[in-house]
Amino acid sequence: MREATETPSDNSDATDITSTAIPTQPPTPRPLAPLQPSIPDSLDDQNVEGILARPIAQLSQFAWMNGTWSAHTFEYHGQGAQRDLGKNTYVFATTMKNRWIFGGDGKGTDYFYITYDPFARQWSLVRINPNPAYGIWLSKTGWRMNRITFDSTYSWVNGRQYRRRVTIIRTGAKSFSIYDEEELPSGGWLADQTVELNKQ
């Protein structure tokens, strides 16, 4: 009987394109700034206090997303094969004192947290799936032509690290799509999944 392991098993006859080009260990953390105050001490900074007291005006750019959405998800496999993952319902709403937007599907398999970081002046997206899969994506450019693209440093999926990107495209007054892609060793991008949403 074969022992269960904590890492995904590999087929020795298959070529694992991720093993040489994409690290399986976390990147080295960036060194802390010299004399950086602790998090509680930074709250005493008047500039920090002022930013925290103001509403995040940029979140109004996502106000149209609030509500309940009918969704249809498609997954993409090798050689262009597509698998229909069926229909679902997503709900989006502001949370954490209107500092974040939360989105989740009715099956408990896809959770989003989106915000604008007024300190770093960039958009942040945290995504969680039950695989477990999770990652943090950032967008410095924000909305351009009804779309916003978030790039990850590294995301963990099925026990491996990937460079990924998520693009949200507003396709109409009551419709939008979420596109997931992963970076290939060649530097190109491979479509993983699409969620098409229509407001109820």
Q: What is the number of structural domains in the chain?
A: 1
| High-pLDDT (> 90) share of the chain, % | 60
Average pLDDT rounded to a whole number, residues 162-185: 94
**Is 6 a domain residue?**
no
**Is 22 a domain residue?**
no
122-163: per-residue pLDDT in tens? Answer: 999 999 998 888 899 999 899 999 999 999 987 888 888 889
Lowest mean pLDDT among 5-9, 78-82, 97-101, 107-111: 5-9
| High-pLDDT (> 70) share of the chain, % | 86
Range of the domain at 149: 47-199
**Is 15 a domain residue?**
no
Write the CATH number for 95. Answer: 2.40.128.20
Question: What are the residues whose beta carbons fall under 8 Å from the beta carbon of 183, sequence distance 6 or more?
Answer: 22, 162, 163, 164, 165, 189, 190
| Helices first, then strands: H and E counts in the chain | 3, 12
Residue 101 has pLDDT above 60, yes or no: yes
